[in-house]
A = this chain, B = another copy of it.
Amino acid sequence: MARAMAQAARRASRDLLLSRPDARIAALVRVAELLRASSADIVRANAIDVANAVAQGKNQAFIDRLVLDEPRIDAMAQSVNEVACLPEVLGTPLSETVRPNGLRVRRVRVPIGVVMMVYESRPNVTIEAASLCLKAGNAVILRGGREAFESNSALARIFRQALVEAGLPESATQLVQTADRAVIGQLLLQHESIDLAIPRGGEALIRYVTENARIPVVQHYKGVCHMFLDEGCDPEEASRLVHNAKMQRPGVCNALECLLVHRAEVQRVLVPLAKSLIQAGCELRGCPVTHSLVPGVSTATEADWGTEFLDRILAVKVVNDLDEAMAHIARYGSGHTEAIITPNAAHADRFRQGVDAACVVVNASTRFHDGGELGLGAEIGIATSRLHWRGAMGLESLTTMKWIIDGTGQTRL
């Protein structure tokens, strides 16, 4: 089954290469219409999934991600329309030159081909991934969590109906129609027909995909994000940024996990900030200096550095200078999002250049590393792998390039 699905996707991706942007836009607009028109059916299918998940004792957060109701379906339809309206990315020249012999040489954006998405029981990902892949001219194979099976089937049916109505290949969007986990493993071996796997979910899922794939994988590992409060930073601004980065939504990958403070700013910045964080309900695990100066700060263990708490917990360390902060980030960071708060332009430059992460932030909250906030319009995830694309992935991240050489009969000497 895996092989047949992958081959059908490859054929569909070839047809998509020759499809017109209008047809892809029309299909997406039709998906949005059908989502709204079929919302009662979708809610009914979703209710089966929800009842099963409740019976299996899934927790409230899990159920919350699974549930679809009218407002959520409407939001999905709206997001599909937004993807439909994103500027066209295919065919854009990435470079263009005319060679001395008259050859016109261009690199242009083209679809990747066939993308495989593996994700958890969040039906909205089905629609987001399918929309972005279609807009970028890719065929996609979707494998969502088993607990969302009925919901995803209803959504994929709509997508395929819209494809057919727009004259596009139905197999451009395929949903894995079995709960059998072995099919994922088989799909991950189809390197002839699948070009990229994107796993989204827990670390175990991502590791499984990475270790079993014979196709390239873009990983979305954890965000162990740091913020360094440099000498001379404004205490009020630093406090606002730390509170925003840590407390606004602690359970997401761009939330702050470890605060580094220049030793010159311990009394002026760190002590009042630490007190206000504790007062706001944040647990602090500090280095010996922090522990000794602020009541209520526990002593951090080695394990606390480099941990993604995803909770109202913050590791705090006093450092001697910028380079110690950067060395700490190099050792314990996960290459996701790293921030510096500084009035010093030279320090900002050194941090931007020397910190190796998907996103470096100067004088703003780490929470801005997000497709919507960066202006991508829609996001398929935040890549922590380093090749092909890094950080927030929008439409462009689902494309690759090809060379086009236009001549007038030139031969090579």
Contacts and interface: CB of A to CB of B under 8 A. Distances in A.
- Most chain B CB neighbours (cut-off 10 Å) among A196, A364, A375: A364
A365 B196 CA distance: 31
Interface stretch (A66-74, A76-84, A352-360): A352-360
B17 A412 contact: no
B391 A240 contact: no
Interface string A226-268: 0000000010010011011000100000000000000000000
Interface stretch (A160-168, A179-187, A397-405): A397-405
A189 to B, nearest CB: 11
6 contacts: A112-B386, A244-B412, A360-B405, A361-B404, A364-B411, A365-B407
Contacts of A406: 348, 362-364
A243 B14 CA distance: 30
Contacts of A14: 330, 354, 356
B195 A387 contact: yes
Interface string A370-404: 10011100000000011111111000000011111
B375 A105 contact: yes
A269 to B, nearest CB: 14
A91 B349 CA distance: 11
A390 B402 contact: yes
B391 A403 contact: yes
Contacts of A368: 103, 405, 407, 410, 412
Contacts of A346: none
B409 A364 contact: yes
Contacts of A97: 375
A402 B364 contact: no
Contacts of A248: 411-412
Nearest to A373: B412
Contacts of A373: 99, 103, 412
A408 interface: yes
B403 A362 contact: no
Contacts of A405: 359-362, 364, 368-369, 374
A350 interface: yes
Interface in A187-243: 195-196, 210-211, 214, 216, 234, 237, 240-241, 243
Interface of A: 13-14, 17-18, 91, 97, 99, 103, 105, 110, 112-113, 195-196, 210-211, 214, 216, 234, 237, 240-241, 243-244, 248, 330, 348, 350, 352-354, 356-365, 367-370, 373-375, 385-392, 400-412
A292 B38 CA distance: 60
B364 A103 contact: yes
A359 B108 CA distance: 10
A411 B365 contact: yes
Nearest to A191: B210
A143 to B, nearest CB: 20
A403 B113 contact: no
A244 B350 CA distance: 51
Contacts of A412: 244, 248, 365, 367-368, 370, 373
B354 A409 contact: no
Contact of A216 (B110, B357, B361, B387): B387
B237 A409 contact: yes
Contact of A404 (B18, B195, B362, B365): B362
Contact of A389 (B110, B196, B401): B401
